[in-house]
Homo-oligomer: A and B are copies of this chain.
C-alpha cells in the first residue's frame, strides 16, 4: 500500500521506512496511528489517539491502536509515559522524556522537560552496579507558588 497522506511528515517517513525494513506491512490503520503520534506535541492516551486517527482511517479499531502502540514502543519510536490515574500515555520518543513536578497541597502537576544532564547522574550508577539502565522516572514533590503563599498566610 502507498502512503495515505499526500503531505508527508519526515518523522512519519522515517518510521515507515523502519517498519518496511523490518518486514512489517504499511497498512492504513498503522499509518493513521503513526501520523497522529508524529504530529502531536505531547502525550496522548490510546483513546485520544484512536479518536484522532479515525479522521484518517474511519474504520480504525481501538485494538489496533494498542497493537500499533506496542509495536512502535518496541521499536523505540514512541515511549510510554506513566499517568497518576493509572493508565498510560504515549509520545514520540523525543517528547516522552518529561518529568513531573507535583504540588503536595493542590496536587497540581507540572511537566518539565527532559534533563540532558540526567545521564551524568545515571551513568556512574550503571557502571557501579552493572545494570543496563533503560528508563528512569523522576518525580519532584513540593509546593507550587500559590500554595506556598497559602502556607505563609
Contact = CB atoms under 8 A, between A and B. Distances in A.
Interface of A: 82, 86, 88, 101, 103-104, 110, 112-113, 115, 117-118, 120-122, 125-126, 128-145, 148
Given A112-B125, A117-B121, A145 B130 contact: yes
Nearest to A108: B131
A112 B129 contact: yes
A101 B126 CA distance: 9
B82 A131 contact: no
Determine how many copies of this chain the complex contains: 2
A142 B133 contact: yes
A118 to B, nearest CB: 7
B118 A131 contact: no
A75 to B, nearest CB: 12
Given A101-B131, A104-B135, 12 more contacts: A112-B125, A112-B128, A112-B129, A118-B121, A125-B140, A130-B144, A131-B143, A132-B142, A133-B142, A136-B138, A136-B140, A137-B137
A134 B130 contact: no
A146 to B, nearest CB: 9
Contact of A135 (B88, B125, B136, B140): B140
